[in-house]
Structure formats: C-alpha cells, structure tokens
Amino acid sequence: MSGETQRATDDDVRVARTRRDVGRAALRVITDGGPETFTHANVAAEAGYSRTTLYTHWPTKVELVTLALESVGRMPHGRRTGDPRADLGAELRAFRRGFVEAKLDQILMALAQWGVAVEEIAAIRDSIVEDGESVAREILAELASDDELEAAVAMLSGVVVCPALMYGRVPTDDVIDTAVAIVLKGLGVLPVDPV
C-alpha cells in the first residue's frame, strides 16, 4: 500500500468516526432538547468537537439534521411470513419499539415542526416516514387499494402514533393485535365474528 493510499485510508477512518460521533450527538440534542436547542455550538459541545469542525463539514442546520437522522438508521422491519395478520402485528411491534428505543416520537415531532418551515426537512421527514411504513403498506397493498389502502395504512400507523403523541404512552400487544384484526376483518380478509 503506498503512503498516499495509507493516508487516504486514515483520513477515511477519521472522517467516518467524526461523522458517527457528531451524528449521534446531534440526535441526542434533537431528542433531548427539541429544535430550540439544536445549534452548532450545542452539538459541538455534546460531541466533543470544535465548532469549526462542525461548520466545515456541515455548514447548515439542515445538513446537521440530515446527519443526525442517518444515525437513527433504517426502521427495523420484521421478516415476512406471508400471513398478513402475523406480519402486520410484527411490523407494528417494530414501529412501537422505534418509539420507545429511538425516541421516534420526539424525532418525528421535531421534524414535523421544522418541516413546516424548511422544505429540505419536510423531504427528510417524508423519506423516514415512507421507510417506516413501507412494509405495512406493501402487505396491505396486496389486500386493498386506493382509499382503502390509504385509510388502512393511516389507521394502523395511528394505533402506535396516536397514543404516543397524544398521551405519551405506547399501545399494548393486545391493542395492536386487535387493531390488525379489525382492519383485516373490515377489508374482508378475516371472517367477522357474529355480533
């Protein structure tokens, strides 16, 4: 390996470490404090890097938010078994885990609030949401289309999102399973019990 290449590799490692450290710090600042405390100075302090480093690599807040969101990673998705009832239940549990472990509610709220004003952030939010609901949408697309599909996707997301945002709590397994059953019965996929 030539000296040139060695140096490039060392640089790559250093840059990757900086990205990772700053990304995680930026995410902590977003979830702990919200938009008002999200500044280059606060993220630099949290990450243990100089403000100059941050301004050099990520000159704008939008770039810093984008970096933070990369460090959230993709939403965990369950493995599909082909049984829509089991697969949707697994998806909603994974989604609920995101709310509990990754503070997805605070990330979504921060993005929603910023998204109103900043177009780039609205685009980032849309791509996170699309990724988050992609598997549930795929499963439901085999069972419904158009308005039924939109309604079903929004309702199943709502089972997790609404209690989390509106009451600060996540649904139990039983509520998740019951919601999946209601939707699948309503779509004619599962038989309806006699009332």
The amino acid sitting at 85 is: R
- Residue that is written with structure tokens 């990304």 in the block: 23
Check residue 136 for interaction with a copy of itself (CB under 8 A).
no
Q: Among residues 72, 105, 124, 136, which is the contact residue for a copy of itself, using CB under 8 A?
A: 105
Q: Is the Cα torsion angle 65, 26, 64, 60 positive or negative in sign?
A: positive
- φ, ψ of residue 141 to 5 degrees: the values are -65, -20
Task: Return the structure tokens found at 121.
Answer: 């952030």
For the CB of residue 50, give the shortest distance to a copy of itself in the complex, in Å.
25
Altogether, the residues listed in the chain come to a count of 195
Binding string, residues 24-63; x marks residues near a copy of itself by CB under 8 A: ----------xxxx--------------------------
Q: Which is nearer to a copy of itself, 26 or 156 (CB)?
A: 156
Check residue 186 for interaction with a copy of itself (CB under 8 A).
yes
Q: Among residues 113, 118, 134, 137, which is the contact residue for a copy of itself, using CB under 8 A?
A: 113
The amino acid sitting at 119 is: E
Check residue 181 for interaction with a copy of itself (CB under 8 A).
yes
For the CB of residue 91, give the shortest distance to a copy of itself in the complex, in Å.
15
Check residue 159 for interaction with a copy of itself (CB under 8 A).
yes
In this structure, the dihedral spanned by the alpha carbons of residues 163, 69, 138 and 194, taken in order and rounded to 10 degrees, is -10
For the CB of residue 89, give the shortest distance to a copy of itself in the complex, in Å.
12
For the chain, the 3-state helix, strand and coil shares in percent, each to the nearest 5, are 75, 0, 25
- Any idea what the Cα angle at residue 28 is, between residues 127 and 33, rounded to 5°? 100
Other beta carbons within 10 angstroms of residue 68's beta carbon come to 25
For the CB of residue 21, give the shortest distance to a copy of itself in the complex, in Å.
25
Question: Where does this chain bind a copy of itself (CB under 8 A)?
Answer: 34-37, 105-106, 108-110, 112-113, 115-116, 122, 125-126, 129, 147-148, 150-152, 154-159, 161-163, 165-168, 171-172, 174-176, 178-179, 181-189, 192-195
